[in-house]
Amino acid sequence: MKKIVFSLLLFTVLFNCKNTKEDNGKLNIVTTTTMITDLVSNVGGDKINIQGLMGSGVDPHLYKASEGDVSKLANADMIFYGGLHLEGKLVEVFEKMRHQNIKTIAVSDALDQSRLISSESFTGNYDPHIWFNVDYWIQITQYVAESLSEANPENKAFYEANAKTYLEKLLVLKENLQATIETLPQDKRILVTAHDAFNYFGKAFGFEVVGLQGLSTATEAGVQDVQKLAAFIIDKQVKAIFVESSVPKRTIEALQAAVISKKHDVAIGGTLYSDALGNAGTLEGTYIGMFEYNVNTIVDALK
Amino acid sequence: MNNAQLEIQLIASLVAIACAIPGTFLVLRKMAMISDAISHSILPGLVIGFFITQDLNSPLLILFAALTGVITVVLVERIQKTGLVKEDTAIGLVFPVLFSIGVILIAKNANDIHLDIDAVLLGELAFAPFDRIYLGQTDMGPKSLWVIGTILLITIGLLFAFFKELKLSTFDAGLSASLGFSPVLIHYGLMTVTSVTTVGAFDAVGAILVVALMIAPAASAYLLTTDLKKMLGLAVSFGVFSAISGYWLAHWLDASIAGSITTMLGLLFLVIYLFAPSKGLIAVIYREKQQRTEVSLLTFLLHLKNHTEENERHVNHLQEHINWQKVRAKTVLDLALKNNMILIDNDIVSLTQKGDEFTSKAIDYIITNEDAQIEDMKDDFFLFRG
């Protein structure tokens, strides 16, 4: 009996004799969603170590921490996150971490609250999908460059130069998107998606946006929501509706079935990237590539 | 390994110890399911406590939650005492109702605080090191470590103070009552400790892991020993072992920590269930096989004693007559030969003197059927084993 206890404890002690920590003088930066990871690595370049918590296709509302995230967070010098409840419970953790020697920065702080879309049901809650307005993303890029420069003044010029290059790219992106959308007649600009992720996009580019689920993907769509939306689609003669990469297909397929059952036709226009970018290394794995892909998909399907 | 990893393992281990102690008594009292019920029904207590204090860190929350835990037990017993339904049904009736009240209270009044159902049931061990206590500027360590450490100290204190009473009321409530200890008081004491532990641990590790840590180590220990002190010791070490090895499983797989610890608990129980020396599945199968051979041997010896004629005692005939298969017949024959019970001469089997005496004794025992003698008989059989 004592032997068993002893050997079990010995085993657990031995198990712990591993050591992992790397430090090469660069800032250790942790980011949450893939959009923020993409932005911060564009500004920080090779002067920072960057680790994203959420991979492509991960829904930030429903993200669950794994063991590897503990070390990432514990070794971080700075953390960039979306805020506005985008990361759920994690936001509270980040707020608590401000007491420690870790700088946690909500990128949404860069924006004036009056420019945010507030939620209808709860005052003080805002739509967190701010990356779908390129102007906001430009402001955030500047904010990220300032924050990095503050934490690491030696590389200030480097961060500012990177931010400038990236801002130019974002301005080109904005023009390109505008040009693509101009080809779509005004009355066809209706975007139906799985959850309310595209409100900023709609406001910026003149789309009417309807989401089947609410702001958070944690809420479920009711039968009534599906029926109402199906009637809306038929009424406005919407040609296509869209799946999102981080939300299961079935809700949108249910909506399609509801429309078809009323003897009308609606296509699934493709998969849009809403809360996460595509796989790293692909074109859709960057913010710019994702945005171009989304707009092309939308315009092609609705034409 | 960094500090955060060390702290997580420390918190997980302390939770494991704090859970294994009440868990052992719950398993022995056949009340394992009550911990599941408590872990759910504390929710309304937490919510009401939050409404009163407006502070998620208030100790009053733990008190209120523990109170709803005890209310659960009282309700379960009231329903059970009506005699209309059994205990498991009563548990199934009470805790979903209380849990739903909690869910409705949250949905109606507290949608934007982190007291959501996910947090109650799953918790998040990974974030525990980042929620720290500060005394002025000094870092006093993670909050969960203090909460669970305090609960553990109280639990251990109570265990030492009331060990005798707990033991007696667990194994013989009637005797305990007649000796002047109140089994009811001990019962509610145990339930309060269970509730407080569940509440203290839920924020750090989540209710599912709490239930697993209460039941699985105690159930595993139960298969290995019949001594209460040993069972407590084993349950505690199994809990700590699973907590730490589960953590490293999560590290290796880069997966959820609570999920990996629960997986380790399940695996540990499976291994012990299969290989435990006397209660394990393999031991039981082996024993049954041996008993079957022993019965066959006895049947065979009785047959020999009943028949003096040679054709009944021919080796080949035995197979047909007792309807044994070849392999089994050979096993029995070999066993009898090895123990000098029989002689084989020209394929004719006959009893030796030893075999004859043994068989007479066996018949005698079967006829008189006295327990004490049967016990002796078992000892005789042990001689033949192997």
CATH of residue B294's domain is 1.10.10.10
As given in the structure block, the two tokens for residue B370 are 């006295």
A104 by DSSP, 3-state: which?
A: strand
Sheet containing strand A48-52, strands side by side: A48-52, A27-31, A78-81, A103-106
Of A15, A96, A122, the CB nearest to B248: A15
Of B279, B311, B329, the domain-final residue: B279
Q: Pairing mode, if any, of strands A78-81 and A48-52?
A: unpaired
**CA A9 – CA B12 distance, rounded (Å):** 14
Domain boundaries, chain A: 27-171, 178-302
Kindly report, residue by residue over B179-202, the tens digit of the pLDDT. Answer: 887 888 888 889 888 888 888 877
As given in the structure block, the two tokens for residue B136 are 């002025």
Domain match, B158 and B82 both:
yes
Mutation to test the A interface, candidates B237, B248, B275, most A Cβ within 10 Å: B237
Domain match, B231 and B318 both:
no
Residue A267: HSE in the Cβ half-sphere, 13 Å Cα cutoff: 11
Residue predicted with more confidence, A115 or A289: A289
| CB-based contact B140:A81 (threshold 8 Å) | no
Average pLDDT over every residue of B131-139: 79
Domain match, B171 and B265 both:
yes
Domain match, B140 and B255 both:
yes
**Chain A residue closest to B253 (CA)?**
A67
| CB-based contact A208:A237 (threshold 8 Å) | no
Tell me if the domain spanning A27-171 has CATH number 1.10.3720.10: no
pLDDT of the residue at A36 = 94
pLDDT at A158 over 90: yes
Backbone angles phi, psi at A119, to 5 degrees: -75, 145
**Chain A residue closest to B227 (CA)?**
A1
What residues in A contact B139, CB-CB < 8 Å?
100
Domain match, B309 and B340 both:
yes
Domain match, B243 and B194 both:
yes
Q: Does B375 touch chain A (CB under 8 A)?
A: no
Kindly report, residue by residue over B5-57, the tens digit of the pLDDT. Answer: 899 999 999 999 999 999 999 999 888 888 888 888 888 888 888 888 876 66
**CA B259 – CA B34 distance, rounded (Å):** 22
Average pLDDT over every residue of A17-36: 73
pLDDT at B176 over 60: yes
As given in the structure block, the two tokens for residue A272 are 């849009």
Domain match, B266 and B319 both:
no
Confidence of residue A17 (pLDDT cuts 50, 70, 90): very low
What SS3 string covers A147-160? Answer: HHHHHCHHHHHHHH
Of B227, B258, B279, the domain-final residue: B279
Residues 6+ apart with CB under 8 A from B148: B11, B14, B15, B18, B200, B201, B204
What residues in A contact B129, CB-CB < 8 Å?
70, 74
What does the buried/exposed string (b/e) look like for A247-276 if buried means 16 or more CB atoms within 10 Å of the residue's CB? beeebbeebbebbeeeeeebeebbbbbbbb
For B355, the domain range is 282-384
| CB-based contact A282:A254 (threshold 8 Å) | no
Centroid of chain to Cα A303: 27
Domain match, B60 and B200 both:
yes
What residues in A contact B253, CB-CB < 8 Å?
67
**CA A85 – CA A98 distance, rounded (Å):** 17
Residue A171 Cα, gap to closest chain B Cα (Å): 37
> What average pLDDT does the structure give for chain A?
84
Average pLDDT over every residue of A164-172: 95
Range of B26-40, B118-132, B352-366 with top mean pLDDT: B26-40
A27-171 and A178-302 share one fold: yes
**CA B128 – CA B140 distance, rounded (Å):** 14
Q: Pairing mode, if any, of strands B138-142 and A208-213?
A: unpaired
Q: Which range (A270-274, B13-17, B339-343) has the least confidence?
A: B339-343
Residue B141 Cα, gap to closest chain A Cα (Å): 11
Of B279, B310, B331, the domain-final residue: B279
- Asked whether the CA dihedral B81, B84, B88, B91 is positive or negative, the reply is negative
Residues 6+ apart with CB under 8 A from A195: A211, A212, A213, A214, A215, A216, A217, A244, A247, A274
Residue A289 Cα, gap to closest chain B Cα (Å): 29
Domain match, B268 and B296 both:
no
Residue by residue, DSSP assigns B64-130 as HHHHHHHHHHHHHHHHHHTSSS-HHHHHHHHHHHHHHHHHHHHHHH-TTSS--HHHHHH--GGGGGG
**In chain B, how many domains are there?**
2
Kindly report, residue by residue over A102-122, the tens digit of the pLDDT. Answer: 889 999 988 888 888 876 555
pLDDT at A83 over 70: yes
Domain match, B172 and B144 both:
yes
Domain match, B255 and B313 both:
no
Selecting from 3.30.1360.150, 1.10.357.10, 3.30.70.120, 3.40.50.1980, what CATH number does the domain A178-302 have?
3.40.50.1980
Do A69 and B237 make contact, defined as CB atoms within 8 angstroms? no
Domain match, B270 and B287 both:
no
Do A68 and B251 make contact, defined as CB atoms within 8 angstroms? yes
Identify residues of A whose CB sits under 8 angstroms from chain B CBs.
1, 4-5, 8-9, 11-12, 15-16, 18-21, 64-71, 73-75, 85, 89-90, 92-93, 96-97, 99-100, 122, 124-125
ipTM for the assembly: 0.71
